[in-house]
Amino acid sequence: MTDSAHAIPAPFRPSPFWWLPYAAGGFMLTPFALWAGLYLSGIAGPKSGFGTPEMVALMLASLPLAAFFFLANLGQMASAMQAGPAGERMPRAARLMPWLSVAAGAGGIAVLGLLGRDTGGMVALGAATAAMVALMAVSLRSAPAAASLAPPAPPSAGEEERALWLLVTPLLGVAFLALAWSPAVIFYAALIGVPLAFVAILSTAHAGMPGGSP
């Protein structure tokens, strides 16, 4: 039996890039922000999901479901990067989504009633909203709860400084190339940066798991 078999794993250190999942998720939403901006500015192209009041109400009631899983995934990755895999937790914003879905569904049913729409559409909206809320409730019940662990060792000043330079240096390089060559450099850098961000996230999570690199 070698001494390495009894080696004590190094304490987990929170990543200074714990916010990276939120940054990558926010970037992934930019196409929707651009679409909304163009639509509100009057440059409206073909669209679907807005043909009838029932479709609009169902879409509004389903948006919290999409936001729930989006925030849950990002939040659990961020919390794991801060406190290790045992510290994963559901973000508070995700816990609000079932209530928003209930509010949107109930409001949609009320509006449909005021518009004198068919009762079948209101029943379908209510059933769909109830199913989505039930799905979110089951997911919340099975979500990992943060364990009562000793606070992780904070990153040293040297680690924070290295992390800052690791972030600032490529951003300055991209800005210089965009000014000297073409603004299209920003677009291609973003396309490359998002997968690299998720590689960094997964590497950090793997480092905190048993058997992973310290």
Residue 137 shares a structural domain with residue 169: no
Radius of gyration of the chain (CA): 23
**Is position 7 within any domain?**
no
Domain membership of residue 188 as a residue range: 155-214
Residue 65 shares a structural domain with residue 86: yes
Share of the chain above pLDDT 90, in %: 21
**Is position 169 within any domain?**
yes
C-alpha torsion 22→26→27→28, nearest 10: 100
**Is position 162 within any domain?**
yes
SS3 182: coil
Residue 104 shares a structural domain with residue 126: yes
**Is position 55 within any domain?**
yes
- CA-wise closest residue to 92 among 131, 13, 146, 134: 146
Domain tally for the chain?
A: 2
Residue 69 shares a structural domain with residue 133: yes
Flag whether pLDDT at 130 surpasses 90.
yes
- The amino acid sitting at 189 is A
Provide the pLDDT for residue 211: 45
Residue 135 shares a structural domain with residue 162: no
Residue 127 shares a structural domain with residue 177: no
CA distance 58 to 127: 10
Residue 122 shares a structural domain with residue 159: no
Q: pLDDT class for 214, splitting at 50, 70, 90?
A: very low
Average pLDDT, the chain: 75
Residue 174 shares a structural domain with residue 137: no
Residue 20 shares a structural domain with residue 119: yes
Give the global pTM. Answer: 0.62
pLDDT in tens, 180-206: 777 777 777 777 776 776 676 666 655
Residue 189 shares a structural domain with residue 168: yes
Residue 20 shares a structural domain with residue 121: yes
**Is position 130 within any domain?**
yes
SS3 79: helix
